Amino acid sequence: MHAGPQARAVLDEAERVRSDPAYRADRFVAEWTRLRKQQEHARFWGEEHKLPKINAGMAGLAKSLERDAQMESLLRPRARELGLGIGMEPERGLSRELSDWFGLSRGRGLSR
């Protein structure tokens, strides 16, 4: 049995994600940016009911970096794209910085 073109494309994408850390990093930045925009939109329009799902996605992304040191090192130079400032502490992991940012933004009421 042969896989159809769509199935083959899905398999090719999965293989690329698995084998190409730079591609995973690009996808991470794109997904984080998408979720941040959704978060900002929900806060602006008072759609608080959407925030738990958005916040869970962001927390999951931050947590995923703890298991992928190679991707974390590729993302560190792209911290501004993730919304992190210049004052990042170099000895701290990016996953920790994102988790702290996420916790601080929630604590300031930015995501509630």
Q: Where are the domains of the chain?
A: 5-107
Distance between alpha carbon 58 and the CA centroid of its chain, in Å?
Answer: 6
The pLDDT tens digits of the residues spanning 39-76 come to 999 999 999 999 999 999 999 999 888 888 889 899 98
Residue 91 or 26, more confident: 26
Nearest CA to 52 among 106, 104, 95, 99? Answer: 106
Q: Are 21 and 71 in contact (CB under 8 A)?
A: yes
The pLDDT tens digits of the residues spanning 67-104 come to 888 898 999 899 889 888 766 665 677 888 887 766 65
The CA distances from residue 43 to 47, 54, 60, 101, in Å, are 6, 11, 20, 17
Q: Which pTM was predicted?
A: 0.76
| Contacting residues for 98 by C-beta, under 8 A, at least 6 apart | 32, 58, 61, 62, 65, 82, 84
